Structure 1
């Protein structure tokens, strides 16, 4: 059985700064939902989650406290697991074997410019990975790299 942990994300302005005419966007304007799973779930279960949320570019792996511990970019994961060799060897393995442990997280209250700069300073192979947003350390949502670049 696959368990999907959905978290609520913020909608609308949070403080007076965001109500001003400041052209800098707030994270809530680009925040998106992404499903989250536990690290003990199998690759087969992760594929089911991925197909249940076809519009999500990633799946966030969280611990019991809903703190992010890994990132699964769906396209990369699908290509790896669905290769001829991947199906046999990875389906029953926990997702912790294939998740990326190198990912960018930011707090929902961090500045947009700070997050965009950090995202653009990642190694080339990771620049298109989603940024995981947290609120007090707990998974809140994601921002796609394309949205960060578009809003600059």
Structure 2
């Protein structure tokens, strides 16, 4: 079969010589080859001349005048029949429909290549290598030989492999993207864990310093409370001294009163004693008023000291409680530090596994490309 004849036949029926249609699917149009056409009334001698004129044709199609195929004549089987003993006498002058295969397979040009190959594989051994008639609008336009079917099958397999490969490549690309994202997330998580460990350590150290400050505050409060207690004791001693002064003032006033009485009895001779008694009385009264004033002031000071001592005591208790809270916070930060370290180790492990998985997907993609090449 000449290449120009094949191209001309395909162009007459609106088919492209390429094996793939516009959508990328494989079609029969790229594999159909033209063969001689005969009418059922033509004699076997005329069929022999047709085969001689088309030496590269494996078969010819017997058609009605409208082009509808009626049967198929395979070259090898035709020559086998007429080359038998008395074959020329038996068949040479007879019409070709006596030798044609009326049960030959006929498919439309738009039939699925997979379906055509299935039909071909379902044939018996005797017709395994027969051509398949291809029609367009029920008119015969050519045939598919076994070689064409094998080439078509190889092309279908190649396309299936390419489709699977492209799908696998796409899945590998998706896997690479996902693994790379995990790898980057692991790296980021490792950095975050490192920062968390550092911040946790700083927080724990800071809380440790706060705890030391609370301890100092508690110690200072204890010292203040002790000082206030000592001051309170001093105030009580002042109160006792003031009470003694008031008692002495009362005794002085009583002595002044007795002196005044005795001076009055003495008459003219007791006037000097009377003046002294009055002065002593005034001094006693003044001493008593001063003692009362001191008592009031000491009372106020004692109340203030007691209040201050209470505040110091409360401050010491609160400092102790705060120190306990800080110690608990320090322990929590310690656990956080440990958790951050564990998380960092996990992130590093995930990062290593992600790196290995990423390298594996890259290697798989390279091997897949190598298979395609």
1:102 is paired with a residue of what secondary structure? coil
C-alpha contact (below 8 Å) 1:60/1:71 kept by paired residues: yes
Distance 1:54 1:111 in 2: 30
Q: Which runs of 5+ in 2 are unaligned?
A: 1-7, 154-373
Q: How many Å apart are 1:18 and its aligned residue?
A: 1.1
Distance 2:85 2:62 in 1: 25
Highest relative contact order (Cα 8 Å, sep 6+), 1 or 2?
1
Q: How many Å apart are 1:19 and its aligned residue?
A: 2.4
Distance 2:23 2:99 in 1: 43
Question: Which residue number corresponds to residue 97 of structure 1?
Answer: 98
Distance 2:108 2:63 in 1: 15
Tell me which structure has the larger Cα radius of gyration. 2
Q: Deviations over 1:56-77 (max 9, x none)?
A: 0001000111100010000110
Q: Deviations over 1:71-105 (max 9, x none)?
A: 00001101111223101111100001111111000
Does structure 1 residue 57 correspond to structure 2 residue 54? Answer: no
C-alpha contact (below 8 Å) 2:113/2:152 kept by paired residues: no
The structure in which a higher percent of residues are helix is 2
C-alpha contact (below 8 Å) 1:128/1:146 kept by paired residues: no
Does structure 1 residue 71 correspond to structure 2 residue 72? Answer: yes
1:146 is paired with a residue of what secondary structure? helix
Distance 1:26 1:62 in 2: 24
Distance 1:81 1:13 in 2: 36
Question: Which residue number corresponds to residue 18 of structure 1?
Answer: 21
Distance 2:83 2:48 in 1: 10
Does structure 1 residue 34 correspond to structure 2 residue 35? Answer: yes
C-alpha contact (below 8 Å) 1:13/1:19 kept by paired residues: no
Distance 1:64 1:151 in 2: 31
Does structure 1 residue 125 correspond to structure 2 residue 126? Answer: yes
Distance 1:21 1:134 in 2: 22
Distance 1:77 1:129 in 2: 12
Q: Deviations over 1:4-63 (max 9, x none)?
A: xxx93344179xx712344xx311111101001000000001000010000000010001
1:127 to 1:45, Cα distance in 2 relative to 1, 3 A: same
C-alpha contact (below 8 Å) 1:133/1:141 kept by paired residues: yes
Question: Which residue number corresponds to residue 137 of structure 2?
Answer: 136
Alignment length (residue pairs) = 142
Measured on the aligned residues, the alpha-carbon RMSD in Å equals 1.9
Q: Which runs of 5+ in 1 are unaligned?
A: 1-6
The structure in which a higher percent of residues are strand is 1
Distance 2:17 2:63 in 1: 27
Deviates more, 1:76-85 or 1:102-111: 76-85
Q: How many Å apart are 1:151 and its aligned residue?
A: 2.3
Distance 2:93 2:37 in 1: 19
